[in-house]
Structure 1
Amino acid sequence: MKQKSIGFIGGGRITRIFLQGLSNKNALSGNVKVFDPNTETVNALCTDFQEIEKAETVADVAAQQLVFIAVHPPVVMETLQAIKEVVNASTVVISLAPKITLEKMAAVLPTQKLVRMIPNATSFINEGYNPVTFAPGFVDQDKKKLLKLLKKLGKTFETEEAKLESYAISSAMLPTYFWFQWQEMEAIAKETGLSEEEARLTVSTTLKKAWKLYYQSGLQANEVMDLIPVKPIGENEPEIKNILNAKLLGLFGKIKP
Structure 2
Amino acid sequence: MTRLSIGFIGTGRIAQALISGLSRDPQVSISGYDKIPDSLHSVSLQYGVNAEESVESLARDVEIVVIAVKPYQVAEVLAELKPALRARHLIVSVAAGISTGFIESNCSEGARVVRVMPNTPAFVGEGMTALCKGAHATADDLLAAERMFSAIGKTAIIEESGMDAATAVSGSGPAYMFRIIDALAEGGEACGLDRETALLLATQTMLGAAKMVLSGRKSPEELVREVTTPGGTTEAGLHAMEERDLRGTLVATVKAAATRSKELMK
User: Given the two structures, how large is their TM-score scaled by the length of structure 1?
Assistant: 0.79
Q: Report how far residue 190 of structure 1 moved.
A: 6.3
CA shift in 2, pair 1:117/1:177, >3 Å:
same
Moved more, 119-128 or 6-15: 119-128
Partners of 1:89 and 1:95 lie apart in 2 by 17
Q: Report how far residue 130 of structure 1 moved.
A: 1.4
Partners of 1:226 and 1:190 lie apart in 2 by 18
Q: Report how far residue 129 of structure 1 moved.
A: 2.1
Equivalent residue runs for 1:159-238 within 5 Å: 159-183=158-182, 185-186=184-185, 189=188, 192-194=192-194, 196=196, 198-208=197-207, 212=212, 215=220, 217=222, 227-229=235-237, 231=240
Aligned to 2:34: 36
Moved more, 239-248 or 13-22: 239-248
- 1:32-86 Cα offsets, whole Å, 9 max, x none, are 111111122222222322x212222122222221110001211112211110011
Partners of 1:155 and 1:30 lie apart in 2 by 19
Moved more, 62-71 or 245-254: 245-254
CA shift in 2, pair 1:253/1:55, >3 Å:
same
Equivalent residue runs for 1:60-71 within 5 Å: 60-63=57-60, 64-71=62-69
Aligned to 1:16: 16
Q: Secondary structure at the match of 2:163?
A: helix
Partners of 2:144 and 2:241 lie apart in 1 by 51
CA shift in 2, pair 1:208/1:254, >3 Å:
same
1:54 maps to 2:37: no
Letter in 2 for 1:227: E
Aligned to 2:216: none
1:248 maps to 2:257: yes
What is the aligned length? Answer: 251
8 Å CA contact retained: 1:19, 1:28: no
CA shift in 2, pair 1:39/1:187, >3 Å:
farther
Q: Report how far residue 185 of structure 1 moved.
A: 4.8
Residue segments in structure 2 that go unaligned for 5+ positions in a row: 214-218
- 1:141-173 Cα offsets, whole Å, 9 max, x none, are 444344333323322232111111221111111
Letter in 1 for 2:54: T
Moved more, 142-151 or 104-113: 142-151
Q: Report how far residue 2 of structure 1 moved.
A: 4.7
User: Given the two structures, how large is their TM-score scaled by the length of structure 2?
Assistant: 0.77
8 Å CA contact retained: 2:185, 2:202: yes
Moved more, 237-246 or 57-66: 237-246
Partners of 2:82 and 2:173 lie apart in 1 by 34
Equivalent residue runs for 1:90-129 within 5 Å: 90-110=88-108, 111-129=110-128
Letter in 1 for 2:220: Y
8 Å CA contact retained: 1:165, 1:255: no
CA shift in 2, pair 1:187/1:38, >3 Å:
farther
8 Å CA contact retained: 1:30, 1:52: no
Partners of 1:72 and 1:190 lie apart in 2 by 39
8 Å CA contact retained: 1:165, 1:256: no
CA shift in 2, pair 1:21/1:125, >3 Å:
farther
Partners of 2:260 and 2:7 lie apart in 1 by 29
Let me know the Cα RMSD of the aligned residues.
3.5
